[in-house]
């Protein structure tokens, strides 16, 4: 199987996780609204709403990050690299992706160690809403591993693509949900 097919396959998988994360953002706005309304109107507080929103932020970050990485949409500074010849871009890309891969691995290891510790010690969240500490933490090692895999694929792309930076730009363009043009077209119709 070619590297590009593998890359796209993983990207599709990551997109599913990202969709879950995106849904979490929407859901979060609903349960916070619910909490504010019931608290002010009916004097009925839901302490879990606050806690759950904080945990959701962590899940949103790490569920979404692999997809964003595969689309090369984590901000990076291309000012210098885009001036370089393709060979040098390839070398830099390989070096930086390798480094980042090991960073993800290390992050996965230390966060997994912490999560396992919480699980074995039956640690609870020190909040009113008491849940096992391991649940909200679980996404950290999982997300780090997923990011690590994404970097392996990025590395493979840097090794094999004829013009790796162009290939990355293509991925970014393929998933350009955040490009303003789409909004501009909508807006044009409205005007």
Partner 1 sequence: MEFGLLGNITFFFGLLMIFMLSGMPVAFGFLTLTIAGSFLFFGGGSGLSLIATNTFTSVGQFALIPIPLFILMGELLMRTGLAAKTVEAVDLWIGRIPGRLSLSAVGGGTLFGALSGASMASVAMLGSTLVPEMSKRGYRAPMSVGAILAGGGLAVLIPPSALGVLLGALAKVSISELLLAGILPGLLLAALYFAYFAIRAKLQPHLAPPYDAPRISLRAKLLSLVNILPLLGLILVVTGFIFLGIATPSEAAAMGVAATLVLAAGYRRLTWAAVKISLMSSLQTTSMILLVIVASQGFSQLLSVTGTTSALVSTVSELDVHPLVMVIIMQLIVLLLGCFIDTISIMLVAIPVFMPLVLAFGIDPIWFSILILVQLELAGITPPFGVLLFVMKGVQQHLKIFEIYKAALPIVVIQLLLVALLMAFPAIVLTLPDLMMR
Footprint of partner 1 on 21-40 (CB under 8 A) = 21-23, 25-26, 28-30, 32-33, 35-36, 40
Q: Are 151 and 97 a contacting pair, CB within 8 Å?
A: yes
Question: Of 16, 45, 57, 174, which lies in the binding site for partner 1, with binding defined by CB under 8 A?
Answer: 57
Question: Coil, strand or helix: which one is 73?
Answer: coil
Query: How many CB atoms sit inside 10 A of residue 162's CB?
Result: 8
Please state the length of the chain.
191
**Closest approach of partner 1 to the CB of residue 7, in Å:** 16
Is 169 among the residues that bind partner 1 (CB under 8 A)? no
Is 173 among the residues that bind partner 1 (CB under 8 A)? no
What DSSP line would sit under 126-151, residue for residue?
A: SSSS--BTHHHHTHHHHHHHHHHHHH
Is 114 among the residues that bind partner 1 (CB under 8 A)? yes
Q: Judged by CB under 8 A, how many residues of this single chain contact partner 1?
A: 71
Of 9 and 178, which CB lies nearer to partner 1 in the complex structure? 178
Structure tokens at 45: 């507080």
Question: Of 61, 156, 167, 169, which lies in the binding site for partner 1, with binding defined by CB under 8 A?
Answer: 61
Near partner 1 in 121-160, by CB under 8 A: 136-137, 140
Residue with tokens 């303003």: 180
Of 1 and 78, which CB lies nearer to partner 1 in the complex structure? 78
Phi then psi dihedrals of residue 173, to 5 deg: -70, -35
């Amino acid at each position: 199987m070619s590297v590009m097919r593998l890359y796209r396959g993983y990207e599709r998988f990551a997109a599913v996780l990202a969709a879950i994360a995106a849904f979490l953002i929407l859901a979060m706005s609903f349960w916070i609204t619910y909490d504010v309304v019931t608290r002010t109107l009916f004097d009925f507080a839901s302490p879990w709403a606050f806690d759950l929103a904080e945990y959701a932020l962590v899940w949103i970050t790490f569920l979404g990050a692999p997809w964003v990485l595969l689309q090369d949409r984590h901000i990076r500074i291309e000012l210098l690299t885009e001036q370089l010849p393709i060979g040098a871009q390839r070398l830099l890309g390989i070096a930086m992706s390798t480094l980042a891969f090991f960073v993800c691995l290390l992050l996965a290891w230390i966060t997994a160690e912490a999560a396992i510790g919480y699980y074995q010690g039956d640690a609870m969240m020190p909040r009113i809403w008491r849940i096992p500490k391991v649940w909200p933490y679980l996404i950290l090692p999982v997300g780090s591993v997923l990011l690590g895999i994404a970097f392996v694929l990025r590395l493979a792309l840097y090794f094999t693509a004829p013009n790796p930076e162009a290939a990355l730009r293509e991925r970014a363009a393929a998933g350009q949900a955040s490009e303003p043009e789409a909004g501009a077209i909508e807006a044009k119709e409205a005007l």
